[in-house]
Amino acid sequence: MHRFANPARFQRIATAVLLWLAAATAVLLALGLFFALFDSPADYQQGESVRIMYIHVPAAWMALFVYSCIAAASAVALIWRHPLADIAARAASPIGAGFTFIALASGSLWGKPMWGTWWVWDARLTSMLILFFLYLGHIALSRAFDDPVRGARAAAILALAGFINVPIIKFSVDWWNTLHQPASILRLGGPSIDPSMLLPLFLMALGFTTFFVVVLLLRMKTELLAAKLRAVQLARLHPAAAAGR
């Protein structure tokens, strides 16, 4: 992976794939929304409110996936000192926080007609809220120090320590009595959801994933340009020190 660590090489690769990924995102989300809103049936118990699922469930999946990516990037940064790993983790954190917020907000909207309340302190909801605060903590820590290296190290340690919350969220419905139903898609017996609902759900999940990659690459490119600009500014302020290097 170190051959992709060169910023110039990364910029070239990112620029080459961004347009294709953006186009794939637009197509997947358009198809997913069409099938979710116009082709999939209403649920026999939940009625039309079940359509919130097509936003809520993929957003919740992405919240866990993005945090897992951040934890993996943090481990790579701490162990192998990969130059782009810290940048990737820092760029991904606000995106993951956004997905987590969408999952919490859409879940609240879905919970009101189903459970009769906007919020309950059950294991799944509480652990998702903790995940949101972990994202906010990671964002704050990565920017809390004048030395970017210290900030990145502190944020990486938090990301790895907080990763324990990911399996807690995943298996909370199995370990504790919660209002959330057990897994109905990723389970040993196969999905229990009708294919007409499963198709838009997977299309939206794929669309959210490609959207994440597009925004991540854009944010990483911006971070690299900002770092280059800071280096130029420092060189102008301290020409003697820059020449000494």
Per-residue DSSP letters for 163-231? Answer: TTHHHHHHHHHHHS--SSPPPSSSSTT---S-HHHHHHHHHHHHHHHHHHHHHHHHHHHHHHHHHHHHH
Residue 12's H or E segment, with its range, is: helix 7-34
Q: What is the pLDDT of residues 5-49, one digit of tens each?
A: 678 889 999 999 999 999 999 999 999 999 999 999 988 778 888
CB 151 within 8 A of CB 207: no
Phi, psi of 178 (to 5 degrees): -125, 170
pLDDT-based confidence at residue 192 (cuts at 50, 70, 90):
low
Question: Among 53-57, 116-120, 152-156, 198-202, where is mean pLDDT lowest?
Answer: 116-120
pLDDT-based confidence at residue 186 (cuts at 50, 70, 90):
low
Single-letter amino acid code for the residue at 75: A
CB 145 within 8 A of CB 87: no
Single-letter amino acid code for the residue at 77: A
Beta bridge partners of 241: none
Domain map of the chain by residue range?
45-183+195-244
Q: How many CB atoms lie within 10 A of CB 188?
A: 5
Q: What is the model's pLDDT at position 1?
A: 52
Q: What does pTM read for this prediction? A: 0.90
Longest dimension (CA), the chain: 74
Rounded distance between C-alpha atoms, residue 238 and residue 116, angstroms: 63
User: Is the pLDDT score of 152 beyond 70?
Assistant: yes
Rounded distance between C-alpha atoms, residue 163 and residue 204, angstroms: 25
User: Is the pLDDT score of 63 beyond 60?
Assistant: yes
Average pLDDT of the segment spanning 170-181 = 77
CB 145 within 8 A of CB 151: yes
DSSP symbol at 83 = T
